Chains A and B, each alone.
Chain A
């Protein structure tokens, strides 16, 4: 439509910017109405944390995604639109409990998360591994090999590494507590600084 977009500035007041508060108010109303109508397949919000800005997304079933800034939140939302539903809306209400628990975690007032999770972004062995990761207690670490044994597949060390690297719920599902057998950090979806920050936070508690 770019060729027919008028350049006639006589009517510029008609295309004057609309107050951000007006749009915010209308958006809030849409959040309520769409939620009441059962249309919000994916609700999301973003929060600031000691490991940078985190995106939190939830389906009606539970928390489905936690994403670090380095994952590019726009890209993450596009992937959610593709894999779950394009009905993705910035609707912080559904994330209230998750935001509160993550705040408590970073404030060292919480050692385990008590949130409904939606692991539908993972399948098969990866999902099994991610289901077991919360069994590693706060402040403790396990090696990839130990986790492979934990899930009853001791030879699947590399697959455990992949399962940790593709964890859709970092921080909440504690893949940061899994280290290499030699004690070095191994990789981390949020970068090694984030992994170190989380391990130090838990060690200091």
Chain B
């Protein structure tokens, strides 16, 4: 009999990926909020999730919605915008080595940032990305490629071949 994993397994397995997605879409503090709300919502809906569902894609979709909610809330209360740090932060990727890259990702256009995030953090196909971005598969592919090229331009360190994940 096919059966559903304990939710704890879902958190352990996908928690880091969801946090990376949240961090690419939001500032670090907001990313924590988005992560928490994503898993709270997911836990609520989990019993009704079809057993054949792609859990990671499901979580990424929830995380994206939460990130959008947080962006919208920030627009409604523009004061919070003043609180956003302009200076580079040592929060983010441990070791600090990736912090500049996070800034570079934040500087991408909205569409490119999302395409990069879904492609390289969530491992989604261009077709899946197109479904979320709304648009053609070719456009999604282009956004990811353009985003990557801009990243390489703005973040020369991205050329360094690190240990593959």
Chain A residues in the interface with B (C-beta under 8 A)? 1, 4-19, 22-23, 26-27, 29-30, 33-34, 37, 39, 42, 44, 77-78, 80-82, 85-90
Contact = CB atoms under 8 A, between A and B. Distances in A.
Interface of B: 3-9, 11, 15-16, 19-20, 24, 32, 35-36, 39-40, 43-44, 46-47, 54, 56-57, 93-95, 97-98, 101, 105, 116, 119-121, 123-125, 148, 151-152, 157-159, 161-165
Given A6-B119, A13-B97, A88-B6, A27 B124 contact: no
19 contacts: A1-B125, A4-B123, A6-B120, A6-B123, A9-B164, A12-B164, A13-B97, A13-B101, A16-B94, A16-B97, A18-B19, A18-B93, A23-B16, A26-B19, A27-B15, A30-B40, A77-B6, A81-B4, A86-B47
Given A9-B162, A12-B163, A14-B20, A26 B3 contact: no
Contacts of A29: 32, 36
A40 B12 CA distance: 16
A64 to B, nearest CB: 13
A189 B46 CA distance: 32
Contacts of A34: 39-40, 43
A18 B16 contact: yes
A4 B32 CA distance: 27
Q: Which of B7, B93, B119, B163 has the most chain A CB within a 10 Å cutoff?
A: B7
A30 B124 CA distance: 26
A9 B9 CA distance: 27
A81 B97 contact: no
A13 B95 CA distance: 10
A86 B4 contact: yes
Contact of A11 (B15, B39, B120): B120
A1 B36 CA distance: 25
A6 B120 CA distance: 7
Contact of B11 (A18, A27, A33, A80): A27
B105 to A, nearest CB: 7
A105 to B, nearest CB: 26
Contacts of A80: 6
Q: 3 tightest CB-CB pairs across the interface, nearest first? A: A13-B98, A88-B6, A12-B162
Contacts of A77: 6, 8-9
A96 to B, nearest CB: 18
B123 A5 contact: yes
B8 A90 contact: yes
Nearest to A8: B120
Nearest to B100: A13
Given A39-B44, A86-B46, A26 B120 contact: no
B19 A23 contact: yes
Contacts of B35: 26
Contact of B101 (A8, A9, A14, A86): A14
